[in-house]
Amino acid sequence: MATPVGNTIIGIRGAPITCVKEDMNRNYRGIWYGDSPFNFVFPTVLAKVIVITLISRGLFVLLRPLKQPKFVCYVLGGIILGPSFIGGIPIVKATLYQPRETELFRTLAIIGGLYAVFLVGVKMDSSLIARSAKNSWRIGICGFLLALTVTSTLIFTQLDHLPGIIMRGPFVFYVPLSLSYTFFPVVAEALEELNLMNTELGQLAMSSAMLNDFIFWFFLGLSVAFKQDTISHSIRAMFSFIVLAIFTFTVVRGRVKLIIRKTPIGKPINDVYIVCILVGVLFMALASDFIGSTSLLGPLLLGSSLFWGIYPNLLELCCFLSCKIKFKSAILLSLIMNIKGLLELINLHRWIFSTYIDEQTYTQLVLSTLGVTMIVTPLIDILSRSRTRLDLSCRNRGLRTLCSMPKNTEFRILCCVHDEESVHSLITLLEASNPIESSSICTYLVQTSELIGLAAPLLVPYDKKRRKLKLAFSASTDQIIRAFENYAKNSRGPVMILPFIMVASYKTMHESVCRLAQEKFIPLIILPFQLNNRYSGINAHLRQFNANVQAYAPCTVGILVDKGFSCGMSLIHFSYHVIVIFLGGPDDREALAYATRMSDNRMTVTVTVLRIILLRNVEEEESQEATEKSSDEAALDELVVEEFKIKNIGSLSSLWKEITVDDVVEVMNTIRSVEGHYDLVMVGRRRSWSAMMMGDDEMMDFVENEELGLIGDMLASSDFCGGKVSVLVMQHYREGVTTTRSGSNKSLIEKVQLLTRHASR
């Protein structure tokens, strides 16, 4: 049917088509020639994109305190620009919503949707479903079936009262199906915005959502047959779809494997291949549409077939999940599984474009999707603010420190490696840690990489199969792990290396590290400190990662500032000189306990302890509580000091020095005057109670690197020993420090008894 006003709009088989009068003047010459930019297609489309971006980003800034995701802001921006608000103004409608520009904009939106679905396939791991924990299977399937049962019952019983569903037949069954799904990319994006991606609950939700995705795409493939008029057409369409899928997963995937094998590790893929893949997305959309299916199915198949879309085995995403989930966690999980996003809107747009539903029903579905997400997302943020989200199944985290660790037990260390620069220093530190038969060293080596190109983070054990496939996560991954494995084979004592590969965003990477340390009962985490300023952006993320680990770690954390010590040192002629600067306090006690272990290796390691004693006058205004705390800290300090002295009686490789000073200024001058050839300086990050009473906290204002503490920051500078001595800054388990300062006397006595038992051994 034709409309008499302006452009002609007709309909063929229910699909609207806009006919636009041909304009011979297509080139925009500029405003200086009197041309209005809004009379031409391209400037108008650009103006519309700018307006949409400004409004949506402005809404995101305004609604961010309410924890609203970007999806909500984009939809609200579209509603504001729609005919109900700004789009209804005559001048705006005549300027930005002309039929020619609208059709071009709609075409660009469809192409964007094709590439969005392609990225969905790239980011999904099809092998995760078969190897996920039973919980993800139960939650994914039961949640889907329950939602499907409820929605199907409501729709089929009230179908006569739903005139908005124009298309009947098999499509009626697809309506409750679509309303029952939880899409994996939508959940992953929301969890990333809420900083919940690396939590156990977030990983369980993502694996369950991925199972929902496979169910949805399976039924979407079946829709190829259901859309046909006759059985013979359905058989032909289904056969064509199967041929297309086989071609994609055999021929296309085989070519992609060949390209990966031919590409040197660490080198980017040739631009020609990238262009071919991008063009292939459009080709697959055309092919799937040609056989009678939706154009979205082809890009999804192509994305799923790409080898890098499935090679990161996400087996361990759910390997640590408990069979029992608390009620609060179950509520939180149910809210996460109700998050909606872009893929739901793409599906709804496909319905309205194919005239399966009318505009009123489409509007209701979009508003309900928007409303659910607006309500659910803030609730998730409120329920997940608890610090115990790192451990959903354990209320009490045991005290794991070097002081409380029994002597003749396995010494477990978690080492994080970001690049090859810190490999030698970490290996040297491990060798100095005195691996012996009665107390071997087990090193959990975590090679970290930033999350790029994947929706879900992962922490997986490294295996040699990836070497054969040349699918390293970075160019140096193999060399880093080989170096540690070679060290374990050639070490003087028993050393075991358990390598892991972690891919996550820097702002949530610490959660996986802390969880691994908690699961494996690791008493010490070693983190490299980046002094290289060539990559300031990356260094800022790594420094924040170190600070996050210090804040949430369930054990002692050591930050290693590598100055390139002992570059020519070998395991055959190993010699190591360590000095510990001891002022007192939980952190310094951890440093001295670590040095005590090193001092057992008397043939190769020499340990010097410089104890600085602060003499202070107890002022009248000083509270009795402060005096008691200072006395308690001093008692704990003496226990560790006596253990070191008794252990090294008659040892020529250990040296003890004591210096008395009056104030913090003399402390700094004493440290600066340290002379001698040392490979490593060990110091605590925070001082004892008495040191803080003398102005330690005030001097922190002059510290550049807060994660190193006052003295650690000074030692890391180039002024100390010519900048050639590496520094290890130790921090005691944070909850332990809190207990010492504000806890009860009972907890203090327990810690004294623990240290006493350790000293007696």
Helix (H) or strand (E) holding 328: helix 327-336
> Looking at residue 84, what is its pLDDT?
83
Q: What is the pLDDT of residues 226-252, one digit of tens each?
A: 777 778 878 888 888 888 888 988 888
Is the pLDDT at 312 greater than 90? The verdict is no
Residue 708 in contact with residue 529, Cβ under 8 Å? yes
Percentage of the chain surpassing pLDDT 90?
13
Res 361 pLDDT > 60: yes
Mean pLDDT of the chain: 76
Does the pLDDT of residue 527 top 90, yes or no? yes
Query: Burial letters for 13-52: b for 16+ Cβ neighbours within 10 Å, e otherwise?
Result: eeeeeeebeeeeeeebeeeeeeeeeeebbeebbeebeebb
The predicted model gives 258-274 an average pLDDT of 77
What pLDDT is attached to residue 735?
A: 54
Please, is 171 exposed, middle or buried when counting C-beta atoms within 10 Å of its C-beta (0-12, 13-18, 19+)? Answer: middle
pLDDT digits (tens, 9 = 90+) for 111-129: 888 888 888 777 765 555 4
Over range 145-171, report the average pLDDT: 80
What gap in Å lies between CA 211 and CA 208, rounded to an integer? Answer: 5
Question: How much is the pLDDT for 602?
Answer: 64
Angle at alpha carbon of residue 508, lines to 561 and 441, rounded to 5°: 50
Place of tokens 């969005």: 116
Contact in structure between 715 and 681 (CB atoms under 8 Å): yes
pLDDT at 590: 93
For residues 686 and 683, give the distance between their C-alpha atoms in angstroms, rounded to a whole number.
Answer: 9
Question: Residue range 395-424: average pLDDT?
Answer: 80
Around 500, how many Cα atoms within 13 Å sit in the side-chain half-sphere?
21
Helix (H) or strand (E) holding 412: strand 411-417
The three-class DSSP label of residue 644 is helix
Higher pLDDT residue, 130 or 99?
99
Q: Do residues 632 and 740 make contact, with C-beta atoms less than 8 angstroms apart?
A: yes
Mean pLDDT confidence for 482-496: 89
Query: What token pair was written down for 555?
Result: 């054990």
Asked if the model's pLDDT at residue 757 lies above 70, the reply is no
Is 418:542 a contact under the CB 8 Å cutoff?
Answer: yes
Amino acid 736 reads G
Cα 504 from Cα 545, distance rounded (Å): 11
CA 649 → CA 165, 600, 709, distances in Å? 88, 12, 32
Residue-wise pLDDT for 616-654, tens only, equals 644 444 555 556 666 777 888 888 899 898 888 878 888
Q: How far is CA 177 from CA 65, 185, 331, 421, in A?
A: 34, 18, 23, 52
Please report the beta strands in 439-564, taking only residues with DSSP state E, as ranges in sequence order: 441-450, 458-461, 495-504, 524-529, 556-561
Most confident by average pLDDT, 399-403, 472-476, 532-536: 399-403
Give the model's pLDDT for residue 616.
61
Asked if 579 and 676 touch (Cβ cutoff 8 Å), the reply is yes
Q: Cβ of 568: how many Cβ atoms within 10 Å?
A: 5
User: Environment class of residue 752 by beta-carbon count within 10 Å: exposed (0-12), middle (13-18) or buried (19+)?
Assistant: middle
Q: What is the pLDDT of residue 455?
A: 55
Write the single-letter amino acid at 515.
Answer: R
- The pLDDT of 163-178, averaged and rounded, is 76
Beta strands 458-461 and 576-582: pairing type?
unpaired
- In order of 60, 72, 77, 377, 761, the CA distances from 64 in angstroms are 6, 11, 14, 11, 56
Confidence of residue 64 (pLDDT cuts 50, 70, 90): confident
Find residue 304's DSSP bridge partners: none
Do the Cβ atoms of 417 and 447 come closer than 8 Å? yes
Q: Looking at residue 745, what is its pLDDT?
A: 39
Alpha-carbon distance of 132 to 207, in angstroms, equals 7
Estimate the share of the chain in helix, then strand, then coil, as percent rounded to the nearest 5.
Answer: 55, 10, 30
| Cα–chain center distance at 263 | 27
Residue 292: left if φ>0, alpha if ψ -120 to 50, beta else—which one? left
Q: What is the pLDDT of residues 367-384, one digit of tens each?
A: 998 999 999 998 888 887
pLDDT digits (tens, 9 = 90+) for 614-624: 776 444 445 55
Return the amino acid letter for 489.
Answer: K
- Is residue 561 packed enough to be buried (19+ CB in 10 Å), middle (13-18) or exposed (0-12)? buried
User: Taking the alpha carbons of 99, 100, 105, 111 in that order, is the dihedral positive or negative?
Assistant: positive
Q: What is the mean pLDDT of residues 48-57?
A: 90
Q: Is 650 exposed, middle or buried (0-12, 13-18, 19+ CB in 10 A)?
A: exposed
Confidence of residue 316 (pLDDT cuts 50, 70, 90): very low
Rg, C-alpha atoms of the chain? 32
Cβ atoms of 500 and 458 within 8 Å: the answer is no
Length of the chain: 761
Could you tell me if 389 and 191 are in contact, meaning their C-beta atoms sit under 8 angstroms apart? no
Q: For 494-569, where are the alpha helices, taking DSSP H only?
A: 509-519, 536-552
Q: Domain boundaries in the chain?
A: 8-96, 99-388, 411-760
Q: How far is CA 314 from the centre of its chain?
A: 14
User: What pLDDT score was predicted for residue 728?
Assistant: 93
Q: Classify domain 411-760 at the CATH class level.
A: alpha beta
Q: How far apart are CA 322 and CA 304, in angstroms?
A: 30
* Residue reference for tokens 């060399």: 479
Structure-token match 């971006």, residue found: 53
pLDDT, residue 121, reads 76
Tell me the DSSP string of 51-115. Answer: HHHHHHHHHHHHHGGGT--HHHHHHHHHHHHSTTTGGGSHHHHHHH--HHHHHHHHHHHHHHHHH
- Angstrom distance (rounded) from CA 267 to CA 96: 45
* pLDDT tens string 175-224: 887 788 788 778 888 887 887 876 777 777 877 787 777 777 777 777 77
